Amino acid sequence: MRTLLLLTVSILGLGIKLQAQTARFESGPAQVSLLELYTSEGCSSCPPAEAWLSSLSQNPELWKAVVPVAFHVDYWDNLGWKDEFSSREFTQRQRYYAANWGSGSVYTPAFVLNGAEWQGWGRAIADNENLPPGKLVVLATGSQIKVTFSPSRPGGPYSVEIAPLKMNATSRVTAGENRGRTLTHQFIAMNLVKTDLSQSGKNFGADVSCSIDKADAVAVWITRSGSLTPIQAAGGLLH
């Protein structure tokens, strides 16, 4: 009987522990801006832009009004220093944006605010005047992320994109344009997962498999299916 009791207590304790590991993030009905930075450790012009992005970690509007994501591109990797955070997928994402803008080239540092090229970094992000798109709720437990989007007006179909983020990463650069510098990064996209949402009544949702065990934070945003332009975002620290 004593063994059974101990086992029961142990199972109950495990349940409490698992419940404590569930992180919940949500937007209000107003649009939360998605701010993307395309950057590289091989680019000497990028550290000031990254320093400004990193300053958002102390901004009280972080996660409430703006969700930042730093995508490290790979087209600087063959110029003396390979960025360990770089990805061909992130480069392709930036090229898709450039194609949508009618541009044949990409550059770093490059900011994208709510799907539009943005050169206002270094100043405060303007209030978003778009009509309220609806509420986004995110539940992250282990490697599963449950997403629910409740649009303020009938619409769809919708997709969701999820980026696990690494915070407070430091690299000692020994070659290339930033040789001899120690670079500190925030909001680094570790990978990117995208899936379509299913409709249930007035809501749209999905249960998404996404590894976040090595992430410090997560960024989640909604787009119309087939579009890169975010219409709602949410996110936050996992620890």
- Round the average pLDDT of the chain to a whole number and report it: 90
Confidence of residue 123 (pLDDT cuts 50, 70, 90): confident
pLDDT digits (tens, 9 = 90+) for 31-90: 999 999 999 999 999 999 999 999 999 999 999 999 999 999 999 999 999 999 999 999
Strand partners, 220: 162, 234
Q: Would the pLDDT of 5 be above 90?
A: no
Q: What is the pLDDT of residues 219-228, one digit of tens each?
A: 999 999 999 9
- Neighbouring C-beta atoms of residue 123, cutoff 10 Å: 7
58-62 long-range Cβ contacts below 8 angstroms, 24+ apart: 61/125
Residue 70 and residue 39 in contact, taking contact as beta carbons nearer than 8 Å: yes
What percent of the chain clears pLDDT 70, i.e. is strictly above it?
90
Q: What is the three-state SS of the chain?
A: CHHHHHHHHHHHHHHHHHHHCCEEEECCCCCCEEEEEEECCCCCCHHHHHHHHHHHHHCCCECCCEEEEEEECCCCCCCCCCCCCCCHHHHHHHHHHHHHCCCCCCCCCEEEECCEEECCCCCCCCCCCCCCCEEEEEEEECCEEEEEEEECCCCCCEEEEEEEEECCEEEECCCCCCCCCEEEECCEECCCEEEECEEECCEEEEEEECCCCCCCEEEEEEEECCCCCEEEEEEEECC
Domain locations in the chain as residue ranges: 23-237
User: CB under 8 Å to 62, separation ≥6 — which residues?
Assistant: 56, 68
Stretch among 41-45, 128-132, 156-160, 178-182 having the lowest mean pLDDT: 128-132
